[in-house]
Structure 1
Amino acid sequence: MYNKYVTLINVFIVINSKEPKHKDYQRNLKIKNVYCLLSINNSKLIKNNSGIKKDIVNDISFCSICVDYGILKCITKDLSFDDNNHENNSILDGVSKDIEESNIAKLQHFKMGAIDQKGNIYIFDFERNTYNLIARSGISANCISFNPYNKNEIIVGHTNKSIRSYNIGSKKLAVVLSSYHHSEPYAFSFHPHQPYLLSTSFKDVIVWDLSENSCLRVLIGIQDSEIQNAIFSKSGQQIIASFLNGNILIWNSETFNMEWKISLEALKNENIIIPKKHFPTNLQNTSLLIMSKDNTQLVYGGMGSTLFIWNIIEKVLQYELNLTILNSSALKRIEYVGNKKMVVVLSNDGNLVFINTKTGSLIAFRNEIKCSSFTLSNDGEFIFLILNQKSKVLIYSTSQLINYQKPVNIKSLKESSKETEGIIEVGSNTTTQVRSLYETIDQHKLPENKTEYELYSSKDIHPAVINFKKKYPLKIYRVLRSMEKIMSMLCYWSPVFENIDYLPNMIFPFVKIYENDTFSCFEILLTVIINYCQKWWEFYPNPPIECLDMLESLLSYHDKELYNHFVKYNITSQYYGWELVNNFFSDILSKNEWLCLWDNILTSCDPSYLYYFVIAYLKYLKKSILRITDIEDFMFFIHKENPCQFSKIIRLTNEVKKCTPEDLKFKKILKPYYSLSSNTNYPIFNEYPKYIINYQTKLKEKIRLEEEEYLKKK
């Protein structure tokens, strides 16, 4: 099998721990532990005519490739090459036993088209084990694709602004589409049901009717609004285009009426003109806009190294991912992996990033293989890479290339050292990637109860939250909208939150982290409230007396001098304890410090960790506190950021926890950490005096109705 590829294709195979058969494997690939099924080398093509050597072509570069499913209808005699000019002519002899038969068998169902820098178009038919030179166009190209409506044709977007179709069977030019483009076309998109083609250039987008080879529509970009990309939706009902002014427009593909406008200017709250330096320097196979096959998500990567993911059904931005791992390199190509909620992202530097579009998380990062372009098979099983030197096309099994990385193991962080007890410090890798830790909790501990979440989220904004915009006029609309939604859902979940004035301060840091993912944010807040807010509202509107009493005893044990100072000047635990805890320390900590603290809180799975931190924080600032004798001065002091070495406070917190005797530990009054179950509804939260809450709710509703009635009369 594959013996006809001997002179054109070097086959590199790695099976488990066995050494590769080819002695130059590591030298040629310069990578380790990445499985390569086939390597197509186009640097030493030697053309023959009737057995007589005709010409030698060296250093041919592939410009673009395409892949399609199915066998070609008409295959002519394959090219022959000079066997004397190649070493390892029998490279496949004795290797077939080691080939991963399952992957090779799947690969045989595909065919690949490729065009090189001299305009030579090749077809590789893996089923028949043949390759063919289809045409010598003499013109380089930016994009190439099989015609889905005529499997025996291949369409090429040339650098001379023309689009041509070649017949694979006859090896002849079939048609040249009229040259309406004002710049080089670099991307194609096909209608899923009709014979329509979208071709994108920097100046314009053209809708073609391939059945009549005619132009239907021309979309022209104006000054400062040049076009980045245009695609058909997977349903074929919309045309989606992105522009350099930060707008993404969605039209009906039949009426060409605009259905939706996405403005990145509104998201960023500033005027946006995307610099051309953020556009790929090499236009070949550029694709910055892609839609999932189930027509629910739209992914855009035309702003440097930032990736935007929209929910098309709800018309909301799900994620705005700044891919810092790419070191500010602009994105060049994005493709979905089959039917999965996963995209492959290629940067200008040739690095590949695999992103889970459902959770907005990083799956894998590959910087060992520097490639200039790539494409995927329809089912996502195989990925075809053009290396940066462009003389090779590597074919991989996508799952093996991804090499899924395991998420953070929370227990290993906890048990990594008996002395440090898993302390996570500011600036460490674990705290700078706090989002991945939260996603680990999402995956293993949160219920992901989408059905019940939608019951809460589908409700109108709760009356208790209607005036939130007036009280807190946040500049960023996206954060304001997320705050309103989360607060409203919490009010519907439990009436106690209708009357809590400090609720916005409690939830704001979590909403800021998850401003584009209210689903995860809501479930994380439920987990935090159920575990770390135990007994907080049992004596509402008074503070949690039991918890503060335990805190006083704890301070008296660990620092008698500080405790006596508070007693002397009538500074109660309501001031030095409750004022710190009830907003989750958002007033006194910077962003990185807050993230570091919550890394430690969540990894500890200890509901009393917050109170140990209060003691450690007070002890660390003891010298400053002992000079304060007035309650107002103390309130000012504990509601501002005080300079500190935060890692020392975290260590001190763990020391306080370790040295606390059993009779002073909060487990006497607090329940153990509880993970929300994925098999049941959200838990009921009714740990509050119902008669007070009900009375306040009725009173507020009465006042609200009276105000509405007064305004109507007025």
Structure 2
Amino acid sequence: MNTLGLVAKNPEYKGTSILRGPSFFENKMEEDEGESENNSFEADLELETSGDQDLETEEEFIPSQLNILPSITTDDEPMRKYSFKLKHNESGNILTVQHTVTEVGQRLRIQMAACCFNDQSNKLVVIDKRGNIFVFDFVSKRYWRLNIRMPKAKLIRPSPLHRNDYIVGNKMGEIYAIDVDKSIVSASSQVGSGAIEELSWSSNGLQGSRKCTTLMRFGSEAILVSLKTLSVSHQLEFDESRYTLKFAGFLPNSDQFFTCFTNDSLHVWSSHSLGTLRSAQPIRARDRRLRLLPAGKSVPEITLRGPNDSDVEDELAFECKDHDFSDGLLLAYCFTPDGNKLCLSTLDGYLLVLSTVSFDLEKMYRLTDFVLKKLAFLPQPKERILFGITARNQAVMLDLAHTDEKLIVQRLNAISLGLSRDGKLLSIISKCGEVNVWSTCRLFNALQAHTICLSKLKSTFKQQKSLPTCTVSGCMNQELRHLLKPDRLKAMLKEYGCYPDKYRFLIWTSLLELPCNGSQFQSLIKLGTPSSVSDKGRNLKIRNDSQRRGVIKVWGCLSLWCKVIGYADFVPHFIYPFVKQLPKNGLVSFEVVATLILNHFHLWFEFHPLPPSNYLAMCENLLQRCDEKLCKFFKTLEVSSMDYAWSLLSNAFSEVLEEQQWLILWDNIVTEPPFFPIFLVVAYNLIQREVLLRLPDKRAIVAFFHDQNPVDISKLVSKARKLATKCDAKLHPQRFIQRFTPIPKGVYPKFLKYPSKWIEQQEEQTDKITKSHQEIDARIRHLELEEVKMMERLENGLKQEEHARRIKKMEELYAHTIQREEERLTCQRKMLIAYQMEVRRRKSEVMTKLQESEQRRKVMEMEKDIDVLMHNIERERRRHNQEMQLAQDEIHNQEMDLLAQRYTNECEGAPLAEKYYDKIQKLCQERDQLQNSLRKMTMETVQPTGGSPLLSIENSIVEILQEFADIINTDRSGT
């Protein structure tokens, strides 16, 4: 499990409360009656800037556009505000904002970078990629441009701290707080080094305090910022090196934030302790629920396109540079307005709804033919209406309660969307550089009307017996044929321009009167695919294997029905578009192509393998009559009808038309007479005349008829009908093309309008060539067998010779090997003796070193004992010295006491010398004895030196005697 590390930047960050204003008007969009009609426009709002032109002058010449001067005014100059009107239409698009500038005499449209609604849902703030900021007030119907610019802006959000403040983040990691009413930047800060991709804040406790923490994501990094000071409080660091951060944002109505990593794991963190509270794996939960899904139950599916659309696969054809599969399957997320649900879209086409409390999977939907890369929930109805942007940049509106109900809001170029807080306005930024504002109420009403219309149509078409479809075992009944009369179908085609997608091939079956000969078709299939078709079918460049097999099956049946078709190389290209539309109904594809060959294109094979010159000549004659200049141009560049007519007919117009146009064209072909394709070829050349005349050479013209080019299909069909109506009878193709004759029931009539003799000769030559090849192959096999036998005999002789040679080599090798082994053993013995001698020598050296080591150890022990003994002697000597010093001090004290006492006693009468003469003499004798005893005691340990303690004692005794002598002399002289 991932853990979160953080670096404290500014732990003291304060929040604020939200200042709420009055609620937004109830979707009434009234016009401002007091505004002048000359300055308000009920059209697309185009913000045009021009270098040195005045606003009022520009308005006189361009009344349908609003022009804003590019110069930035000073702060003291008041901002000029201009009025606008909202559009009133049923589509729901109430405002379109564009910004156009004039540079070097050219008009240039600047793309919009970001936009958002304020919290009161009555203002829209738009920033273009040059940093210009425009504010649109939907209450006063006025807009103005701020005097400041925000270059390289990435996103903008309304600030929760002050009503008029907005938070802007750019691609350089800078964040700004701007006041749109005063047109000032109130605060700014550099919070990162990359583009700010996500910005959300904690909405818990905003009303009660000024504290608000903002979470910002820069790619795979995230930080916490104090919204009041715009200072970074914490840098979020994740310790998981294998996975990187993909999403990060605060949970609604909470002080917790969640993160999503590239392994599709969700983690919820506390913004206070920054610890993990819970985690979830939505993809694993989805897979587990799919595995445990009961039999008979399925996941609700949402489909954008109809069942007959063939380019459904392209819906998921996004580039790897836009979506990296290594980043996991989770693609986008959004919360419900009440914050109770989290909706996730996946890269493999699923929509997951999780509870924000437990992160358990509650609902999931299967997106069959599209992927959502942006999401937003409508507040009302609750958890039901979802707006999104698909991988093909379509803005869609989905009803999750009724998955059949959906609405495409914008078909092209949508890159981002935003909903107002009350959910009444929707903004969509387009790649073409504009911002479209939609009324969600009108979109919801359109969705409901669309649903009601579809239900009424279904009830209208609903009958007691369901409409049968053409199958191999059945055919269209007479009742249905009576309902689908050609006159009714022609009227329907004239009214709507095409047939309904759901019943198109049923109508084709009725118009071409297909018999649905199932048993005969099965008989053709049982005959197998001719070798010529199967060999050529391997080289067909069709990516879809099932479609390639279908083309080969129908082509094989046609070649069995008519031999020449198996030798015509253009036939698979002609068959492919029909097989692609009917991949599971080969019978109808076969009978459609066979009916067209019998009626429309029976002249194509009359000169096979040469081109159908008669058929192409009709196209060339008609083109010559209609546009002689174009024909001369073709002849000048040596462009023939093979280039401008056969290239269209041989592939049934499938190369030059996209799929829906091709279906509309063939709706008209099967309805009109068989000669109608000739007039379509001529009409296509006439419509593309101006383009063709400007092509430089034949190569460019030939390539032109093999590429898709812009063409109005209704105009093409109308042009062909006019040509058919006004065509001269002498040139009209109906002289050479018979009337429509359907295939009869129960039999497939033979098609014989081709050079059968050539085919027979071709088959005979093919048989002869096949037999020759077989004979050559037999002879080659015989020669190969003989060669194999010879090689076997040669190999046996060579094997024996080689065997003997190898045995001799092996014997020599073994002898050399034994000799080398003996030499190696002798060498090893010598080495062993040398090693033994070396070991003995080293052993003696080791013994010598051990003896020396033992001697050194004993010497060290003796030295240690001597050191201990010297230490003990020194300690005893110091102890004796101390005792002698104490004794000396004691003697000195006693002597002083005696002298003092004697002096006291003798001073009373006789002189001191006489009085203490005997005692002094006795004292001198004791002194001499003491000195002698001291000398004896210290003679053994201390040498008599000038600095010894005994000498000091003697000196002190001499001094005492001198004092006594002085005292005696003093007494004598006094007496």
Q: Which has the higher helix share?
A: 2
Same fold (TM over 0.5): no
Give the TM-score, by structure 2 length.
Answer: 0.33
Give the TM-score, by structure 1 length.
Answer: 0.44
**Relative contact order (C-alpha < 8 Å, sep 6+): which is higher?**
1
**Structure (1 or 2) with the larger CA radius of gyration:** 2
